[in-house]
Chain A
Amino acid sequence: MKRRLVLKQLTAASLLAMSGWMPQLMAAEDTIKVGILHSLSGTMAISETSLKDVALMTIDEINANGGVMGKKLEAVIVDPASNWPLFAEKARQLIAQDKVSVVFGCWTSVSRKSVLPVFKELNSLLFYPVQYEGEELEKNVFYTGAAPNQQAIPAVEYLMSEDGGGAKRFVLLGTDYVYPRTTNKILRAFLHSKGVKDSDIDEVYTPFGHADYQTIVANIKRFSTGGRTAVISTINGDSNVPFYKELGNAGLKATDVPVVAFSVGEEELRGVDTKPLVGHLAAWNYFQSINNPVNTAFIEKWKAYAKAKNLPNANTVVTNDPMEATYVGMHMWKQAVEKAKSTDVDKVIAAMGGQTFAAPDGFTIEMDKTNHHLHKPVFIGEINANGQFDVVWKSKGPIRAQPWSPYIAGNEGKQGL
């Protein structure tokens, strides 16, 4: 009897031990692998870390609701460390070695450009969640952020309107890399089409991580004596802090010279004392302050997730546009896989067009049937003292993306794949 009991216990124990292994053994069979390619160290960690977290949150949410086609999603996280060539290497590893079905990742345009050849060569799928400069359309990429006509152009139109201050002169201020340069090229052509002369446009670039904006702010001040001036800032991430600090201290108020920023969101403002910035603007397709039930639930979910996972500064977490774009993109991918009944890349791509999703921006937004971009609403928000945005203008509804800007010569007829 005793021996039998021991045997029984042993079997039970080994079964228990096995069960510890089982999910992982089963996992190889019954999960779908999802790659997450965001910098968790280096300069871009500031912006990209929260995208990794929101992707994990969305995976948890999908798994809690039964997964995709009955299979659980399994995240494979890699850290390309803000190093552009490493992005390509890590992407190859995700696709070839880990055999992921889809990758969510990249922030800067240069990292996206670096991974494109890999995705094309291995015919895999990338969801890119950040607003960018357009002038690109790849079969293997879905762009869930804004194209220039969904962000930059409406913002400039607003600045030129009565409510936006009726700006006549423009300072195009940016960090020196592909996104600001291309955006400013489009904006200059757009301003020309509105009758703004070159003498009323001042284009200024700074190096990455520039911290001394004294001369630039003094120049803006001098430039603004020539007529109503607005600054269009494509300054990247954390260089914005010294810029806004200098602006505030030099006494250039938003009522005199409004600054509209394309890369400043709630996450970036977390590191800033926002009192001197009140009234400056940002253009996005989503703000945390947008009031609708879907968004309230989204923010609640994110806050609860941050608390449960004990993320750094969990009590002050915010949501922002690229996070929303990641969330929407992942849900749309899930829907497309379910429609295609397969994770096969070509079938999913075919199923993606025309997918709709009730997004936190308050609209049921649609993936365009041909151009791989979302139809998105545009919001212009003013920074308030709490580091949030008050929406001062919004588009009537979602706008179809024009990845190839009509303001750049030679783009006619390039609107689809």
Chain B
Amino acid sequence: MHSAITRVWYRWLAIGLLAVFAHTAGAAAPGGVDAAMLAPLAASDTDAKLVAIAALGQLPDPAAARVLEALNTGALFATPAGRVLIGPGSAGGAARDPIDGSTLAMPADASAITINNRLRRAIAGALAASRLFADDVQVRLQAAQRLQSGSDVALLPTLDAAREKEQHPAVREALDIARANLALQSDDPARRRSAAELLGNTESAAFRPVLAALATPRADGSFAETDASVREAAVNALKQIDRHQALIEWTGNLFYGISLGSVLLLAAIGLAITFGLIGVINMAHGELLMIGAYTTYMTQTFFRQWLPAWIDWYVIAALPLAFAITALVGMALERTVIRWLYGRPLETLLATWGISLILMQAVRTLFGAQNVEVSNPSWMSGGVTVLGGLVLTYNRIAIIVFAALVVFLVWLLLNHTRLGLFVRAITQNRRMADCVGVPTGRIDMLAFGLGSGIAGLAGVALSQLSNVGPDLGRGYIVDSFMVVVLGGVGQLAGTVIAAMGLGTVNKFLEPYAGAVLAKIIILVLIVLIVQKRPQGLFAPRGRSVE
């Protein structure tokens, strides 16, 4: 057997045995927590703490679980004299005695017991066993899943008892898997074989190492697993797992690609309007993203201060604000600087570059050079597991949906409103539109405001993924131009396809080429495509092209 696994197994066995001793020692006060059991938690010896945690985990006493929970969340306190007590929660209140639950005043010299990852793991393991009998299905399921990765045979009776009692099919399945994992250590080849088959059916990569340990020969050509039929079952199970992992990897790349594509799309779509439709090379586009992100930060600060109950929805409130603020900034720019430079791309480029520097320095002066903290609302934290191993994170999903929504709204605006009609008219032939009475000056301003406002919306989305700092825009300006140029100037559909294409190609390349090389390959590809099709992938045809 794999040496590391053996060692871990011995360690668990040792802890388990100690726990049993501790349990028998505590028999005088049957099943209850006593001060002697808690004393090691206050000491600095990690090994003693581990024994105490394991002992507490074996107790049916709810007080034991309370102590472990408190230790896990950093709410367990100890005085220098070795007295252990549960501290007040974040909501305030008095400290509690861990044994009888009575409230008492917090001693001034008490400090929180710090734990490390090793202890955290031990606590999770210890809590899992007792949680198998919890009332809440989700808690039971999580506990069972937690125990799937363990290799502590001492837990088998507990698992069997839980399986006996369990009614919920999902938890039963999870328990069966946990038991199968332990059954691999059984003496009976038939049990080992069926366990290997069951683990193969889970298609989970978590069991790959234990199965591989059965199926691969050791240095001297012998096998850890003596029975050939079990080895065969393990090999088949490995194949099954690998097939499924390949599927997960492929789906994962696709999802990552689409999500990267949506980020590119959000960053670029405002630019597609200002650059693509009005022909302004706006180097300050990135800074408009940044202003949108800072608006999110301000909104978050406001909500924390005044509406803490609604803090989870600050992102939604930030959307219209960011749109309005960046649209106003954009329109002000257009009226004061850019409109004097129409038809002079080089001057526009330099002027907007200057504006971008001014905006960055202004933000740096106002908010400081440091990044500011924007936290994900709770509904955007975490993720959903699909296909038994692929985690799709909620913030990425939210941004994909949001990008689709923005594209839809922009399409609606351009194709089904009067403003959109004017914008398209100006794009096709500015002088003719002017002649037939389209107020080109006003439309330019509004279109620029729209492009800027969308950049603000993108800023809100970006604030949920990466840093919010004065330099935020710098990272996206090149990518945005890449998308717009590749997609073809003046084409909304081109922008969408270019963004999605770049994102997916990048993400399918990354596992093979690495992040650095993938980015270089993408740039080379774009150069080649633009060489071949200078108008971009989806150039508008006909006389409208100048």
Contacts and interface: CB of A to CB of B under 8 A. Distances in A.
A251 B121 CA distance: 15
Interface in B129-148: none
Given A251-B382, A251-B383, A271-B373, A215 B510 contact: yes
A227 B208 CA distance: 10
A396 to B, nearest CB: 15
Interface string A215-241: 110110110011110000000001001
Contacts of B367: 312-313
Contact of A163 (B46, B74, B205, B515): B46
B375 interface: yes
Interface in B155-209: 205-206, 208-209
Contacts of A165: 117-118, 121
A327 B510 CA distance: 42
A218 B465 contact: no
B48 to A, nearest CB: 13
A206 interface: yes
Interface of B: 4, 8, 46, 74, 114, 116-118, 120-121, 124, 205-206, 208-209, 245, 249, 252-253, 256, 259-260, 263, 361, 364, 367-376, 381-383, 385, 390-391, 393-396, 465-471, 474-475, 507, 510-511, 514-516, 519
Given A210-B515, A246-B393, A392-B116, A271 B468 contact: yes
Contact of B205 (A45, A222, A245, A313): A222
Nearest to A50: B370
Contact of A271 (B114, B467, B510, B519): B467
Interface stretch (A35-43, A63-71, A408-416): A35-43
A384 interface: yes
Contacts of B382: 248-249, 251
Nearest to B357: A41
A279 B4 contact: no
Task: Tell me which of A42, A212, A216 has the highest count of chain B C-beta atoms within 10 A of its own C-beta.
Answer: A212
Contacts of B114: 382, 390, 392
Contacts of B474: 43, 209
A248 B382 CA distance: 7
A204 B368 contact: no
A251 B392 CA distance: 10
A89 B224 CA distance: 65
Interface residues of A, number: 62
A312 B117 contact: no
A272 interface: yes
Most buried by A among B114, B208, B383, B516: B516
Contacts of B465: 211, 242, 245
A24 interface: no
Nearest to B475: A209
22 contacts: A41-B369, A45-B364, A46-B369, A46-B469, A49-B368, A211-B465, A214-B256, A214-B396, A215-B253, A215-B510, A218-B256, A245-B395, A245-B465, A248-B381, A249-B394, A250-B393, A251-B382, A254-B120, A276-B381, A312-B367, A312-B368, A382-B116
Interface of A is mostly: loop
A226 B211 CA distance: 11
Contacts of A226: 208-209
A271 B118 CA distance: 28
Contacts of A176: 516
Most chain B C-beta atoms within 10 Å of own C-beta, residue among A206, A211, A246: A211
A321 interface: no
Contacts of A312: 367-370
A271 B116 contact: no
Nearest to B241: A225
Contacts of A211: 465-467, 475
B116 A225 contact: no
A263 to B, nearest CB: 14
A162 interface: yes
A271 B469 contact: yes
